[in-house]
């Protein structure tokens, strides 16, 4: 187990691809452990965006001229790349959205229009606010009821309770694939199978899954899957919503505007086919091309190797950090991805985070947009170190040393 | 001492620290020494909600002056609060209302007042000044009435 993936993983070459990882923070070489919030970007992605603006920029799907055709080809090729990244059977099922938050809001606003009083929607207690609030808003509008899958003490979902929540009134289940605050990898295949048995439709929030390994929407068996590009080395403001064709076709449009229409008249407007029906206005072309470039970059490193390398790094970090007296890991599920959330007895996360920052270690502190989850654990928040494939054991050692020093100062 | 004199005193005090560690050691000590707010005021009414850390602030008029007590759940925030209280406590309300607090920036801790920190400190400073404005307005009204 010791160092198996680390031996063959080309970590030095990878780190050289990320300009920001070569910089300093507060006069110390930067140790970036906040990739769960937003990852750093490799030069390849930055180049792809620059190359698009320098050579291919024109509005897509409208021009008769060669440049516009080139932009359209690049844009649609990017869609194909993203479909392959999650093994979607048909690229027309892949909708460009700004990010995971917009993906969830789109579903709540469109698919959700069919929900009525008494219908039940299930989320879990470990959801990010973006997978809670859109459903609460929908419940207010529709009279549907929000049900919550409890979380066990180790940060796993209570699947027994989930089974009990499911019934013939359950119309929708929206659950996170990997918890941003705890790192728990949820049993999404079982979640989908069980929901389908009662006829409910399932959306999986994959924001923290797509940066860390292979995702196969067909193997998962979900009906919708959404994720953000900026967490997987892509640019900000671009993400993906995938949905099954028959569901997408049955849904009303989200935003009205150009591109999403078939024919417009004041007597009545008809809508375009999928995916364009959900893509009103000029899309984020550079974002799409940048995201596809990020997917290519990660695929070229081998997503299985990334997953294995990160698993070893997390195990090493967990082992080293728990040697610090009074340090408690929040979220100890057997299946975890790249997140180490912790507290030190008697110390506030803000104090620890501030002192880590001064030592060049970037972590996140607070509730991680999961207030209900923090309340469930009876804590104000955590310090969260989150890893990506460009982090090293040296980064972990710096984290351990900086935390040890901070703890000493605060004791 | 006036508000300006108190700010100058703190700036002097922090000049002896060369590196961030000594500076933060000092802030942590100040945080530990901060006289606690009366338990009765450590409630929702006196809470200034931050995203990262919470602050409680109580203000009471004493003549034309205002007395402040405060607390926080985070020790660094508490240390910074103790500096704010040191500067503005027992000062005339009108001066609290009109003062420019520059010492935090001058001692190199301005980042803690940034909105991204969301530690309650920024809102606390605003709240202290609002108390000053309200108290000064009341005094004016009484003087003119």
CATH of residue A264's domain is 3.40.640.10
* Cα A144 from Cα A88, distance rounded (Å): 30
Structural tokens at position B37: 């707010």
- Is residue B37 pLDDT above 90, yes or no? no
Total number of domains constituting chain B: 1
Q: Are residues A23 and A91 in the same domain?
A: no
Q: Are residues A87 and A121 in the same domain?
A: yes
* φ/ψ (deg, to 5) at A386: -120, 135
Question: Chain B residues with CB-CB distance to A under 8 A?
Answer: 20-21, 24-25, 28, 51-54, 73-77, 112, 118-119
Calculate what percentage of chain A has a pLDDT beyond 90.
96
Calculate what percentage of chain A has a pLDDT beyond 70.
99
Rounded CA Rg of chain B: 15
CATH of residue B21's domain is 3.90.1010.10
CA A224, chain centre distance (Å): 14
ipTM comes to 0.89
CATH of residue A376's domain is 3.90.1150.10
Asked if the Cβ–Cβ distance from B24 to A355 is below 8 Å, we say yes
Report whether A316 contacts A393 (CB < 8 A). yes
The confidence score (pLDDT) of residue A1 equals 45
* Cα A310 from Cα B26, distance rounded (Å): 38
Residues 6+ apart with CB under 8 A from B93: B61, B64, B65, B66, B131, B132, B133, B135, B136, B139
The confidence score (pLDDT) of residue B18 equals 83
Roughly how many angstroms between the first and final C-alpha of chain B, as a whole number? Answer: 31
Q: Are residues A74 and A25 in the same domain?
A: no
Q: Which residue has the higher pLDDT, A195 or A258?
A: A195
DSSP line for B4-37: HHHHHHHHHHHHT--SHHHHHHHHHHHHHHSPPP
Residues in chain B with CB shorter than 8 Å from the CB of A366 are 51-52, 118
Question: Chain A residues with CB-CB distance to B under 8 A?
Answer: 26, 347-351, 353-355, 358, 365-367, 380-381, 409-410
What count of other Cβ atoms lies within 10 Å of the Cβ of residue B102? 13
Of B51, B75, B118, the CB nearest to A348: B75
Q: Please tell me whether residue B89 adopts helix, strand or coil conformation.
A: coil
Of B21, B25, B74, the CB nearest to A350: B74
Of B20, B25, B74, the CB nearest to A348: B74
Residue A39 belongs to some domain of the structure: no
Residue A205 belongs to some domain of the structure: yes
Q: Are residues A254 and A312 in the same domain?
A: no
* Cα A227 from Cα A207, distance rounded (Å): 4
Q: Are residues A116 and A209 in the same domain?
A: yes
Residues in chain B with CB shorter than 8 Å from the CB of A347 are 75
Q: Are residues A252 and A295 in the same domain?
A: yes
Residue A380 belongs to some domain of the structure: yes
Q: Which residue has the higher pLDDT, A294 or B122?
A: A294
The confidence score (pLDDT) of residue A168 equals 97
What count of other Cβ atoms lies within 10 Å of the Cβ of residue A315? 13
pLDDT for B85-107, tens place per residue?
Answer: 999 999 999 999 998 888 988 99
Asked if the Cβ–Cβ distance from B51 to A367 is below 8 Å, we say yes
pLDDT for A4-54, tens place per residue?
Answer: 677 789 999 999 999 999 999 999 999 999 999 999 999 999 999 999 999
- Which domain range does residue A125 map to? 46-299
Q: Which residue has the higher pLDDT, A86 or B138?
A: A86
The confidence score (pLDDT) of residue A3 equals 55
Indicate the residue among A274, A299, A324 that finishes a domain. A299
Closest Cα partner for A241 from A213, A278, A273, A211? A278
Q: Are residues A314 and A195 in the same domain?
A: no
Structural tokens at position A358: 């001064």
Please report, to the nearest 10 degrees, the dihedral formed by the alpha carbons of residues A403, A405, A407, A409 taken in order: -150
* Cα A19 from Cα A43, distance rounded (Å): 7
pLDDT for A131-176, tens place per residue?
Answer: 999 999 999 999 999 999 999 999 999 999 999 999 999 999 999 9
Residues in chain B with CB shorter than 8 Å from the CB of A358 are 20-21, 24
DSSP line for B47-84: EE--SS--EEEEEEEETTEEEEEEEESSHHHHHHHHHH
Of B54, B75, B77, the CB nearest to A410: B75
The confidence score (pLDDT) of residue B119 equals 73
Indicate the residue among A258, A277, A299 that finishes a domain. A299
Report whether A130 contacts A101 (CB < 8 A). yes
Total number of domains constituting chain A: 2
Q: Are residues A162 and A291 in the same domain?
A: yes
Integer CA distances (angstroms), B122 to A269, A380, B118, B129, in order = 50, 19, 8, 11
pLDDT for B9-19, tens place per residue?
Answer: 999 999 999 88
Report whether B126 contacts B140 (CB < 8 A). no
Structural tokens at position A109: 């606003």
Q: Are residues A75 and A133 in the same domain?
A: yes
> Secondary structure of chain A in the HEC alphabet?
CCCHHHHHCCHHHHHHCCHHHHCEECCEECEECECCCCCCCCHHHHHHHHHHHHHHCCCCCCCCCHHHHHHHHHHHHHHHHHHHHCCCCCHHHEEEECCHHHHHHHHHHHHHHHCCCCCEEEEECCCCHHHCHHHHHHHHHHCCEEEEECECCCCCECHHHHHHHCCCCEEEEEEECECCCCCEECCHHHHHHHHHHCCCEEEEECCCCCCCCCCCHHHHCCCEEEEECHHHCCCCCCEEEEECHHHHHHCCCCCCCCCCEEECCCCCCEECCCCHHHCCCCCCHHHHHHHHHHHHHHHHHCHHHHHHHHHHHHHHHHHHHCCCCCEEECCCCCCECCEEEEEECCCCHHHHHHHHHHCCEECEEECCCCHHHHHHHCCCCEEEEECCCCCCHHHHHHHHHHHHHHHHHHC
- Which domain range does residue B136 map to? 3-144
The confidence score (pLDDT) of residue B108 equals 86
Q: Which stretch, A62-66, A198-202, B11-15, has highest mean pLDDT?
A: A198-202
The confidence score (pLDDT) of residue A183 equals 98
Structural tokens at position A310: 């990160």
Residues 6+ apart with CB under 8 A from A133: none
Residue A40 belongs to some domain of the structure: no
- Is residue A94 pLDDT above 60, yes or no? yes
pLDDT for A216-231, tens place per residue?
Answer: 999 999 999 999 999 9
* Cα A378 from Cα A383, distance rounded (Å): 15
Instruction: Give which of A38, A343, A347, A351 to mutate to test B binding, by max B Cβ within 10 Å.
Output: A351
- Which H or E run includes B133? helix B121-144
The confidence score (pLDDT) of residue A381 equals 93
What residues of A are labeled active site? 369
Residue A285 belongs to some domain of the structure: yes
Closest Cα partner for A108 from A165, A169, A172, A170? A172
Residue A397 belongs to some domain of the structure: yes
Q: Are residues A235 and A108 in the same domain?
A: yes
- Is residue B117 pLDDT above 80, yes or no? no
Q: Are residues A95 and A182 in the same domain?
A: yes
pLDDT for B21-34, tens place per residue?
Answer: 899 999 999 998 87
* Cα A68 from Cα A142, distance rounded (Å): 42
Residue A57 belongs to some domain of the structure: yes
Residue A41 belongs to some domain of the structure: no
Closest Cα partner for B52 from A31, A23, A351? A351
pLDDT for A297-313, tens place per residue?
Answer: 999 999 999 999 999 99
Residues in chain A with CB shorter than 8 Å from the CB of B54 are 380
* φ/ψ (deg, to 5) at A176: -80, 140
């Amino acid at each position: 187990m010791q160092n198996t993936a680390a031996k063959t993983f080309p970590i030095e070459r990878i780190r050289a691809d990320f300009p920001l990882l070569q910089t300093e923070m507060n006069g110390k070489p930067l140790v970036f452990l906040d990739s769960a919030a937003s990852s750093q970007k490799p030069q390849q992605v930055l180049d792809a965006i620059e190359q698009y603006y320098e050579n291919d920029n024109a509005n897509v799907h409208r021009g008769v001229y060669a440049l516009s055709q080139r932009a359209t080809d690049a844009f649609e090729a990017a869609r194909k790349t993203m479909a392959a990244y999650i093994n979607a059977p048909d690229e027309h099922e892949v909708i460009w959205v700004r990010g995971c938050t917009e993906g969830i809001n789109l579903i709540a606003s469109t698919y959700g229009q069919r929900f009525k009083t008494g219908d039940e929607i299930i989320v879990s207690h470990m959801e990010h606010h973006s997978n809670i609030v859109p459903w609460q808003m929908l419940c207010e509008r529709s009279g549907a009821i929000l049900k919550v899958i409890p979380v066990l003490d180790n940060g796993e979902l209570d699947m027994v309770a989930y089974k009990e929540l499911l019934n013939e009134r359950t119309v929708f289940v929206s659950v996170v694939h990997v918890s941003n605050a705890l790192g728990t990898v949820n049993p999404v295949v079982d979640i989908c199978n069980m929901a389908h048995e009662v006829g409910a439709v399932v959306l999986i929030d994959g924001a923290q899954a797509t940066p860390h390994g292979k995702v196969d929407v067909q193997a998962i068996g979900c009906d919708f899957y959404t994720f953000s590009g900026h967490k997987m080395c892509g640019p900000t403001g671009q993400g993906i919503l995938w949905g099954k064709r028959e569901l997408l076709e049955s849904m009303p449009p989200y935003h009205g505007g150009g591109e999403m229409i078939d024919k417009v008249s004041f007597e009545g407007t008809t809508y375009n086919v999928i995916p364009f029906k959900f893509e009103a206005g000029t899309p984020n072309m550079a974002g799409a091309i940048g995201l596809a470039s990020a997917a290519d970059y990660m695929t070229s490193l081998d997503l299985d190797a990334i997953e294995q390398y990160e698993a070893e790094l997390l195990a090493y970090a967990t082992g080293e950090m728990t040697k610090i007296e009074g340090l408690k890991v929040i979220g100890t599920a057997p299946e975890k991805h790249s997140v180490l959330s912790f507290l030190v007895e008697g110390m506030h996360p803000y104090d620890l985070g501030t002192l880590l920052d001064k030592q060049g270690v970037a972590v996140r502190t607070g509730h991680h947009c999961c207030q209900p989850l923090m309340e469930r654990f009876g804590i104000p928040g955590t310090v969260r170190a989150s890893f990506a494939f460009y982090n090293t054991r040296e980064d972990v050692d710096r984290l351990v040393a900086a935390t040890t020093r901070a703890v000493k100062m605060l004791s | 001492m006036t508000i300006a004199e108190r700010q100058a005193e703190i700036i002097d005090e922090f000049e002896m620290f060369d590196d961030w560690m000594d500076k933060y050691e000092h802030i942590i000590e100040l945080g530990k020494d901060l006289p606690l707010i009366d338990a009765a005021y450590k409630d929702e009414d006196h809470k200034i909600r931050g995203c990262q850390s919470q602050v409680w602030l109580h203000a009471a008029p004493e003549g034309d002056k205002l007395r402040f007590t405060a607390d926080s759940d985070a020790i660094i925030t508490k240390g910074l609060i103790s500096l704010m209280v040191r500067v503005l406590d027992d000062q005339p309300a009108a001066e609290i209302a009109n003062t420019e607090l520059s010492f935090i920036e001058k001692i190199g801790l301005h980042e803690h007042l940034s909105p991204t920190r969301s530690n309650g400190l920024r809102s606390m400073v605003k709240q202290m000044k609002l108390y000053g404005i309200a108290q000064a307005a009341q005094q004016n009204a009484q003087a003119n009435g």
